[in-house]
Structures are given as structure tokens and as C-alpha cells.
Amino acid sequence: MKPFFDVLNAVTRASAVLAAICVGVTAASYTAEVVARYGLSSPLNASGDIGSYMLCTAVFLALPQIARYRGHVAITVLPDMLPIALRGPAMRLLFLVTAAVLIIVSWFVIQISLTQFRSGVLTPMVNQIPRWWLTSIMAFGLIVSAFHFAFPQTPASSATHSEV
């Protein structure tokens, strides 16, 4: 399983780096917009579109890292009320259910992405891009996150938070 976890963790790290780059691109595009609009009196009018695209992309590229470190919102009232001996199995079951739901949602997103690809649907923004680009990134983030829930790693086999 170590090679699988190594690849999964490398893909997750790369995805998190790309998410951070998306945030940087958003900041740079808004900065360029402000400079062009107020400094050069010639607005770019692309920063809103770029910001929207990058936000969607960043969320789904960061999702696997959040799932890896269990950084998502979790309401653990019921598991916390269970006896200690049952908490681990209960959480494992919840993780498997979560992975199953993520895979099902991913399947739907992939179907939508394929339909968008075949029909050539574009985003409704001024600066249009093919919609399937965004839905494909959504599917990627959901699938990699599902792997992190289906195959949780022990702290010893998982990397530290300071990695990315």
C-alpha cells in the first residue's frame, strides 16, 4: 500500500500547490485590474472572470488536502457519545460512507462534464472558457478526496501539515 499512498499524497500535494497558485493568480489579476483602471485609465475587465474561475478551481484542488488532514467540518456529537472501543469502527464506517457519496457525486459530475464536452458549452462570463474544464477539476477533487476517506492513513504514514 505504500506506493499507493506515496502517489496519492504526491497528487494531493501537487493539487494543493496548484490551488495556492490559483489564489495567487486571483490576487495578481485583481491587482492588475486596479492598476490598469486607476493608474492607466484603461480597465482590463477580466479580473472578475479570472477570479471566478480561479475560486472554483482552487476550492476543488484544495479539497483533497483538506480531506487528507481531516480539516473539513465534522459534527462528531454521536461518535463522541459512543464508548471509546466503538469510536474507531464508527468513524471508519462514516469515512467509507463519505467516500461512497463522493464517488457517486463524482460519477454525476463526470457525466455532466462529458455532456458539456460533447456539446461545447461555454461559461456565461464575458471571457468564456469550456465549462467541462471546471467540472473536470471538480470531479478530480472529489475523487481524490474519496480516496483519502476510503483509505485513511495513520499519522505515521501521513505527512506533516508543514509540507505544503
pLDDT tens, 62-96?
Answer: 999 999 988 777 777 777 888 888 888 888 898 99
Q: Residue 148's closest CA among 67, 62, 73? A: 67
C-alpha cell at 68: 487528507
What local confidence, expressed as pLDDT, does residue 154 receive?
A: 60
What local confidence, expressed as pLDDT, does residue 108 receive?
A: 97
Alpha-carbon gap, residue 164 to 145, rounded angstroms: 17
Residue 14 C-beta-side C-alpha neighbours within 13 Å: 8
Q: Which of 2-16, 40-54, 77-91, 115-129 is least confident? A: 77-91
Kindly report, residue by residue over 47-61, the tens digit of the pLDDT: 889 999 999 999 999
**Average pLDDT score, the chain:** 88
Alpha-carbon gap, residue 146 to 2, rounded angstroms: 18
DSSP letters, 103-139, are HHHHHHHHHHHHHHHHHT-B-SSSS--BHHHHHHHHH
113 or 92, higher pLDDT:
113
Place of cell 465549462: 131
The CA–CA distances, whole Å, from 91 to 18, 79, 105, 123, 147 equal: 30, 7, 21, 39, 15
- CA-based end-to-end distance of the chain: 23
C-alpha cell at 75: 459534527
pLDDT-derived band of residue 164, with 50, 70 and 90 as boundaries? Answer: very low
What local confidence, expressed as pLDDT, does residue 139 receive?
A: 97
C-alpha cell at 7: 502517489
